[in-house]
Amino acid sequence: MNQDTRTAAEHIRESFLVFGAPRIEQAEIEEVVDSLTSGWLGTGPKVARFERAFAAYKGVRHVAALNSCTAALHVSILAAGLQPGDEIITTPLTFCATINAIVHAGAVPVLADVDPQTMNIDPNEIERRLTPRTRAILPVHFAGRPCDMDAIGDIARRQNLTLIEDCAHAVEAEYRGRKTGTFGDFGCFSFYATKNVVTGEGGMVITRRKEDAARVSMLGLHGLSRDAWQRFSADGYRHYEVVACGFKYNMTDLQAALGIHQLARVEDNWARRAEIWRAYNEGLCGLPIHLPPAADAHTRHGYHLYTILIDPLQCNTSRDAFLNAMTARGIGVGVHYLSVPEHSYYQRAMGWKPEQYPNAMRIGRQTVSLPLSARLTDDDVADVVHAATNTLAGLSGTNHSAPLQLCTEVDTASLSVPIDGAQS
Ligand SMILES: *Cc1c(COP(=O)(O)O)cnc(C)c1O
């Protein structure tokens, strides 16, 4: 075996690369220990500190911490005053929580298909789905790529609709210099274990109006008129009053302890993911797969998900076979997402069919998310590239010595272009 064949030979990782494992450092650990020793585990001073830090990072004044983005979406819809039967237009290419929050709030989700290039909700499709009952638009900045907020904002203003942004992927993202979550009336963020800023479980709402943030906080803590930690403060006992039938959605100090230090490193982690993103673009360029769409010039991408598309006609293999083969090679992969109408509940309850949203359906059936955590080492990134390359060579049985040129950075219009054989 000469040197070259040895390098090309299969290299199996010693440990499984867990998809989405966060980068946790000593500062988070010490802050959690400090909460444990202080005896204050519930909603308290660290939540207030995390809220102030988040408001400063986003350049806003009104925020409310909660225990998830699902909760954030739910109470935002309620705080917006939507009534049962009101319609909210959103994307079929999202996590089920986006839809479930709408249903739990008593509103009716209406899907508008995504743009096949950007994978974000298509403003033209939003227009097509408007009815006299439409009250809100709920765009998701998919993978961290900002939606077309000029067009969506125009529709919302023209139709007098509430705008609620699902920013679960996009805490760092900007559109024309404006930060995500500040376009609409409510911006909802997730600090779930795999997201860009993690608290284990956690969420945040930012609002344009002060009274909306107060209402979100109130609904997130049983509908109490005052925060519990104010009640027990040193200035003397204060009675609370229940002013609405709220929910148990408050963030705890244990969670905020993580968030405070995670947020302090949000830009470092973003820069590392941008680096990994470029390494994937270079390492995977030339494989018969579609790479994720590059960020638009006037935007800042959040780099939350690196999603490739496995088109069975080009790869000679199915997406699911690719997922299994990557897992067997020790690489954790994800699917974001099967389109919402693929799930039996929504078919039964809403009557949705995947074919009604063909772009989201095709992406959902072809997409694979590669690991993109700031925790990845350069060796991890090289392992992912090797595993993907070897998987495609092994599964398709083809020789990629004359690779197809499908690098998205070079040719963003390639997605719907049929590939006819080798380009020699
Ligand atoms: C993760 C996620 C949510 C839900 O966030 P939680 O904090 O886990 O409730 C909602 N929308 C999208 C797009 C997500 O990725």
CA distance 352 to 110: 10
Residues framing ligand 1 (Cβ under 6 A)? 68-70, 94-95, 97-98, 140, 166, 168-169, 190, 192, 203
What count of other Cβ atoms lies within 10 Å of the Cβ of residue 103?
18
Q: Is the predicted pLDDT of residue 98 greater than 60, yes or no?
A: yes
User: pLDDT at position 238, please?
Assistant: 75
- Determine the distance separating the centroid of ligand 1 and the alpha carbon of 70, expressed in angstroms: 6
pLDDT digits (tens, 9 = 90+) for 307-336: 999 999 999 999 999 999 999 999 999 999
pLDDT at 329: 96
Task: Answer yes or no: is pLDDT of 417 > 80.
Answer: no
Q: For residue 254, what are the CA distances in angstroms to 71, 103, 261, 419?
A: 18, 30, 12, 52
Atom of ligand 1 nearest to the CA of 142: 13
In this structure, is the dihedral angle defined by the CA atoms of residues 354, 356, 358 and 363, taken in order, positive or negative?
negative
Distance CA 195, CA 169 (A): 7
Question: Measured from the CA of 194, which atom of ligand 1 is nearest?
Answer: 1
Instruction: State how far the Cα of 107 lies from the Cα of 20, in Å rounded to an integer.
Output: 32
Closest C-alpha to ligand 1, atom 2: 168
Burial of residue 174 (CB within 10 Å: 0-12, 13-18, 19+) is: middle
Share the mean pLDDT of the chain.
91
Q: Average pLDDT for residues 155-176, to the nearest whole number?
A: 98
Residue 72 CA to ligand 1 centre (angstroms): 10
User: Distance from the CA of 236 to the center of ligand 1, in angstroms?
Assistant: 39
54-63, 144-153, 237-246: range with lowest mean pLDDT? 237-246
Catalytic choice (195, 210, 248, 353)? 195
**Is the pLDDT at 232 greater than 90, yes or no?**
no
Give the model's pLDDT for residue 225. Answer: 87
Distance CA 220, CA 64 (A): 9
In which band, very low, low, confident or very high, does the pLDDT at 265 lie, cut at 50, 70 and 90?
Answer: very high
- Nearest ligand 1 atom to the CA of 101 is 10
Pair of tokens at residue 287: 């494989």
**pLDDT at res. 11:** 65
Give 1-20 pLDDT, tens digit per residue: 344 444 445 667 889 999 99
CA of 286 to the centre of ligand 1 (A): 33
Per-residue pLDDT at 2? 41
- Res 397 pLDDT > 80: no
Write down the pLDDT at residue 83.
Answer: 93
- Asked whether 111 and 343 are in contact (CB, 8 A), the reply is no
Q: Which residue has the higher pLDDT, 165 or 405?
A: 165
Q: Looking at residue 240, what is its pLDDT?
A: 84
Fold category of 3-10+266-415 in CATH: Aspartate Aminotransferase, domain 1 (3.90.1150)
* Ligand 1 atom with the shortest distance to the CA of 201: 7
- Cβ–Cβ < 8 Å for 359, 113: yes
pLDDT of 305 > 90? The answer is: yes
What 3-state class would DSSP assign to 351?
Answer: coil
What value does the mean pLDDT take over residues 334-356? 98
pLDDT at 413 over 60: no
Q: What is the model's pLDDT at position 395?
A: 75
Range of lowest pLDDT (94-98, 233-237, 283-287, 339-343)? 233-237
Q: Is 46 a catalytic residue?
A: no
Choose the weakest-confidence range: 2-6, 144-148, 170-174, 254-258: 2-6
pLDDT level of residue 409 (50, 70, 90 thresholds): very low
Tokens, residue 206: 């930012």
**pTM (2 decimals)?**
0.91
- The residue extents of the domains of the chain are 3-10+266-415, 26-264
Class of the CATH-defined domain 26-264: alpha beta
pLDDT tens-place string over residues 7-59: 445 667 889 999 999 999 999 999 999 999 999 999 999 999 999 999 999 99
Residue 351 has pLDDT above 60, yes or no: yes
Report which of 17, 50, 23, 29 is spatially closest to residue 252, judged by C-alpha positions: 50
Residue nearest atom 5 in ligand 1 by C-alpha distance: 69
Average of per-residue pLDDT across 96-106: 98
> Over pLDDT 70: what percentage of the chain?
88
For ligand 1, the distance from its centroid to the CA atom of residue 328, given in whole angstroms, is 28
Please say if the pLDDT value at position 187 is more than 90.
Answer: yes
Q: Is the pLDDT of residue 404 over 50?
A: no
Q: Residues 378-398, buried b or exposed e (16+ Cβ, 10 A)?
A: eebbebbbbbbbbbbeebbee
